[in-house]
Amino acid sequence: MASLQTSDVVRWGWFLPRDAALHGPALDAHLMLNLWIVLGLAVLAHGLLLVGVMVRRRRAKLPVVMLEYLPLLALTALFAWLATKSEQLWASQRYVGADPAAMQVEVTGEQFAWYFRYPGVDAAFGRTKLPLVSAAEGNSLGIDPTDPKGKDDIVTSQLVLPAGREVDLTLRSLDVIHGFSAPEMRLKQNAVPGQTAHIHFTPTVPGEYAILCTQVCGLGHYRMQSVLRVLPAKEFDAWLTQRELAKARFESEVSR
Amino acid sequence: MRVFSTRHRDVGLGYVAISLVAVAVGMLLSLVMRLHLTWPDWSLPLHGPVLPEEYLAIVTMHGTLMLFFVLTVAPLSGFGNLILPAQIGTRRMAFPRLNALGMWTMWLALVAALAAFFVPGGAPIGGWTAYPPLSESPLAGPGQGAGMDLWMASIALFCVAGTMNAVITLTTIVKRRCEGMTWERLPLTVWAWFTAALLSVPAFSVLLAALVLLFCDRHLHSGFFVPGQEWINGVMIEHRGDGSPLLWLHLFWFFGHPEVYIAILPGMGLVSMVIANFARRRVFAYRLMIATTLLIGLLGIVVWGHHMFVAGLNPFAGTVFSVASLAIALPSSAKVLSWLVTAWGSRAPGGQRKPMATPMLYALGFVSFFITGGLTGPVLAQPILDEYLHNTFFVIAHFHLIMSMAAIFGIFCAVHYWYPLVFRRQLSERLGRWHFWLTLLAAYGTFLPMYITGLGGEPRHYAQLNGIAGPGARLLALTMPLQRHITYSAVVLIAAQVLFFWNIQRTARGPKLTEENPWGATTLEWAPGAMDDEGPKVRVVREPCCYEQDGEGFVPQWAEPEAVSGIPIPLRGEAE
């Protein structure tokens, strides 16, 4: 996978990376619409400015209404239209939570790594406590060993997801504010210590994608990167089963 | 010039000197950033390779110096003090001693900020926004100890000095206008200073309060901006209280957003007047320009949440802030339309005067940057798009085109336009034109490609873009060819500034100007004796920007009606 071709990552001339989420194409289309409008208005305004300073004084008198209020009215309509369109997209993504059947994954940011936790066979996350955090003891997230729900929790350093299924990410941070960003999923949300945030999306195209930190979090900020692996549903199921079995084996050995 | 002078001109020049020091350091820091991003192995002379924490310290200090000590100090405090009294027909600012104290407090703030480089751990690394918990604990990284404390002291002093200056500016405009200078006859520059000062008072006060709370969190273990339990760098920290970093974001951006209007409004006001002056006609829709200035100020206070779309706010709040932010596009567009109409057909019919003098060029450059930078504001104001673009170089391009280029062109415009007034010498037009074109082209070469690297996903504050394994690094490596181009442009951009300083240096030895009003300006600061401490008292009899149809004759604000009875003045509200 190391020799990923440029064409795999970049879709076209605006340098926008590949789009691999269900909500992505609508977002991209709206972004492109905005960029073309912006480009058009910038060229128009510069054209008027350049022609304006080149020509000599004209005598024709035009009222304020024609030169100021009419263009403003048109711009108001334009921005209102864009706002309505963008709010529809925003609302469909953020006003409602994930489907109750969505896959649950918890994302935890820590200087300078991302951890991903799957709830295991019981479909419930175990309790976490900050004083229990200890990377040396293999408990980077501070999962409470007395909570039975946490026994089967699986913690990974890569986010592995099935294609075509909705995912509900629970974001949290152990230390400072981190910015969870997956450019190819058109997704970004800060992980803030002391609170959790939810974002949900559906990855569509299998592949390996970037996870970046986009909120400055200290000297290792630039290398706080991880991998999002989107697998075909069957491969994902096999991966998850394997992880769950390994976890069960480990737990039974520890308790013995 | 006495050192502890209370004359407004000396205080104003003191403020401008602060900005000169800050801009020189800030510009060099940006050069180091660009070189390091493009060639990460590059070794800084007398220092060695730039480490990641040093890169972040440089980013933080670049932002701090430019935002606070250049873009706030020069346009509002600097030129406000230098020109404002003469422009409203008074001899001095209100509270002259407090005014001088403010300027010296500002020097102290600058010294404190620069001192952060020289303490153990170096300067802070959390960016100019200083989000906690990164800014709250020395454990969070090098520079977050003594360097962060110095930074906070510096910004606190800045808030005190800035508030003092804003109160003095407001008092001067309200109480010290000369006879006949009604609110409607105020030049748009004064309206802009007035609005910027109005914004400064709540913005700086709130920032100062937030800094005090952050200080308590850092040193008294209170918990305003951090949760009750924190786990930083392997250490558990307990706080007497359970707070949230989001509170800091709210308070910081309640200051931070108006701050950008404090920086840009004086430029807008000046550019309006300069374009009108060189196009030799009334500012198109003068009253609307006053209204939009105030409206931009008002809306500027209520849109801070658009910096927080992905910070963990309720998405409904995002919608409210989005609509309010998009609304700013309208008064801003109204201003651009007015500039375009005012500048339309400004070429001289007779060819006797030169409408394209350097101040006009800088003013038009301001309009150009304001358009190219401002138009992407509505893009970023839509939360769904901000979800992708937030904290990428797209944002950097957006605010650098407006803040660093439009606002700086406003400052260049001010220097070239008012230099003959303050120093009785005129800057070289030829050098000025060279400087203008080189700066304009290099600035576009530097900042326009950043839109593209931002769309490509390049995040801010990354000390290194290549040389890391994984799909993220592969994505970022694609921007490298553009990165190199940006760096070359930035080097040209910085090198071009030598022309500006050379121009100033050369002119200081040049001959004195005999003409009192070389630009044929109509505003009061050009009235004979208006800049003197003991000049004749002036009286205002009309609004600014009264010119004859042919553009040759003009009627200044102070000319008595009987002296100019033969000159027909065009009607208000029409473009000729």
B244: contact with A, CB 8 A cutoff: yes
DSSP-assigned letters across all residues of B254-280:
HHHHHHHHHHHHHHHHHHHHHHHHHHT
Which pLDDT does position A207 carry in this prediction? 95
Strand-strand pairing, A103-110 and A167-173? parallel
User: B283-311: per-residue pLDDT in tens?
Assistant: 989 999 999 999 999 999 999 999 999 99
How far does the CA of residue B402 sit from the closest CA of chain A (Å)? 14
Q: What is the pLDDT, as a whole number, of residue B566?
A: 63
| pLDDT value at B222 more than 50 | yes
As a whole number of angstroms, the distance between CA B332 and CA B569 comes to 28
pTM of this structure? 0.94
Cα A193–Cα A197–Cα A198 angle in degrees, nearest 5: 155
The set of residues, in sequence order, having a beta carbon less than 8 Å from that of B233 and lying 6+ positions away, is A111, A175, B139, B140
Pairing between strand A159-162 and A226-231? parallel
State percent of chain A over pLDDT 90. Answer: 81
What does the pLDDT read at residue A2? Answer: 36
Confidence of residue B189 (pLDDT cuts 50, 70, 90): very high
B126 HSE (CA, 13 A, CB side)? 24
Nearest CA of chain A to the CA of B16: how many Å? 31
* Residue A190 near chain B (CB below 8 Å): yes
Q: Is the pLDDT of residue A9 over 80?
A: no
pLDDT value, residue B547: 84
Residues B439-443 have a mean pLDDT of 98
A55: Cα separation from own chain's centroid: 50
The amino acid present at B95, given as its one-letter code, is F
Residue A208 pLDDT more than 90?
yes
How many CA atoms are closer than 13 Å to the CA of B91, on its beta-carbon side? 8
Residue with the bigger pLDDT between B470 and B353: it is B470
B residues 255-274 lying closer than 8 A (beta carbon) to A: none
Contacts of B412 (CB under 8 A, 6+ apart): B362, B365, B435, B436, B439, B500
Q: Which residues of A touch B134 (CB under 8 A)?
A: 176-177, 216-218
Asked if A206 and A232 touch (Cβ cutoff 8 Å), the reply is yes
Structure confidence at residue B350 (pLDDT): 56
Mean pLDDT on A13-18 = 80
When pLDDT is averaged across residues A78-104 and rounded to a whole number, the result is 95
Could you tell me the pLDDT band of residue B20, with boundaries at 50, 70 and 90? very high
Q: For residue B142, list chain A residues with Cβ-Cβ distance below 8 A.
A: 219
Kindly state whether B336 is in contact with chain A, defined as any CB-CB distance less than 8 angstroms. Answer: yes
Contact B378 A181 (CB under 8 A): no
* Interchain CB contact of B127 with A (< 8 Å): yes
Of the pLDDT bands very low, low, confident and very high (cuts 50, 70, 90), residue B116 is very high
A211 to chain B: which residues are within 8 Å by CB?
A: 472
Phi-psi region of B462 (alpha: psi -120 to 50; beta: other; left: phi over 0): beta
Q: How confident is the model at residue A60 (pLDDT cuts 50, 70, 90)?
A: low
Q: Is the Cβ of B182 closer than 8 Å to some Cβ of chain A?
A: no
Beta bridge partners of A160: A229
* Alpha carbon distances (Å) from B361 to B239, B273, B516: 56, 13, 22
Residue B123 DSSP code? S
| A59 pLDDT higher than 80 | no
pLDDT of residue B247: 97
Give the contacts of A220 (CB within 8 A, at least 6 positions apart): A111, A112, B52
Q: Do residue A27 and residue B387 have CB atoms under 8 angstroms apart? A: yes
When pLDDT is cut at 50, 70 and 90, the band that residue A3 belongs to is: very low
Residue A197 near chain B (CB below 8 Å): yes
Does the distance separating the beta carbons of B333 and A71 come in below 8 Å? Answer: yes
CB–CB contact A86 B383 (8 Å): yes
Give me the residue label for tokens 């003092």. Answer: B164
**Given an 8 Å threshold on Cβ–Cβ distance, is B388 in contact with A212?**
no
Q: Is residue A228 very low, low, confident or very high in pLDDT (cuts 50, 70, 90)?
A: very high
> Is B462 in contact with A222 (Cβ distance < 8 A)?
yes
Measured distance CA(A241)–CA(A237) in Å, rounded: 6
Peptide bond into A112 cis (omega under 30): yes
What is the distance between the alpha carbons of residues B3 and B345, in angstroms, rounded to a whole number? 47
pLDDT for A255 beyond 80:
no
| Model pLDDT for residues B229-238, shown as the tens digit of each residue | 999 998 999 9
Per-residue CA distances from B468 to B40, B58, B214 (Å): 12, 22, 35
Name the band, by pLDDT with cuts 50, 70 and 90, for residue A93: very high
Site from A211, A215, A227 to mutate, B interface, most B CB atoms within 10 angstroms: A215
Look at B368 and A75 and tell me if their CB atoms are within 8 Å: no
- Could you tell me what percent of chain B has a pLDDT over 70? 96
Q: Count residue pairs from A and B with Cβ separation < 8 A.
A: 300
| Mutation site, B295, B333, B372, B483, interface A, largest A CB count within 10 A | B333
CATH of the domain spanning A103-255: 2.60.40.420
Q: Between helices B429-455 and B358-374, what is the axis angle to 10°?
A: 10
Is B153 a residue whose pLDDT tops 60?
yes
What is the per-residue pLDDT for B565? Answer: 65
- pLDDT of amino acid A5: 44
Q: Are A53 and B347 inside 8 Å of each other by CB?
A: yes
Q: How far apart are CA A221 and CA A187, in angstroms?
A: 18
On the question of pLDDT at A97 being above 80, the answer is yes
Cα B75-B283-B167 angle, rounded to 5 deg:
35
- Residues 138 to 177 of B: which have CB under 8 A from any A CB? 140-142
pLDDT for B349 beyond 90? no
- Quote the pLDDT of residue B573: 45
> Which residues does chain B have within 8 Å of residue A215's beta carbon, measured at their own beta carbons?
131, 391
Annotate B442-458 with DSSP letters as a single string. Answer: HHHHHHHHHHHHHHTTP
Query: What is the tens place of the pLDDT at every residue in B118-147?
Result: 999 999 999 999 999 999 999 999 999 999
Distance in Å, alpha carbon of B228 to nearest chain A alpha carbon:
8
> In this complex, is the C-beta atom of B528 within 8 Å of any C-beta atom belonging to chain A?
no
Q: Which of B288, B349, B375 sits opposite A42 (nearest CB)?
A: B375
The pLDDT value given to residue A4: 43
Residue B555: closest CA among B529, B516, B523? B523
Closest-approach residue (CA) in chain B for A60: B576
Kindly report the average pLDDT of chain B as a whole number: 92
Q: Retrieve residue A248's tokens.
A: 């069960």
User: What is the DSSP-derived secondary structure letter of residue A113?
Assistant: E
At A159-174, the pLDDT tens digits run 999 999 999 999 999 9
Q: Which of residues 120-149 of A touch B (CB under 8 A)?
A: 130-131, 133, 142
- Closest partner residue to B462 (CB to CB) among A142, A174, A221 is A221
Q: Contact at 8 Å (CB) between B265 and B190?
A: no
How is A115-182 classified by DSSP, letter by letter? EEEE-TTTT-PPPB-GGG-BTTTTBTT-B-TT-GGGTT-EEESSEEEETTS-EEEEEEESSS-EEEEE
The nearest CA of chain A is from the CA of B247 a distance in Å of 12
Let me know: does B92 contact B10? Beta carbons within 8 Å.
Answer: no
Mutate to test the interface with B, among A89, A212, A226 (most CBs of B within 10 A): A212
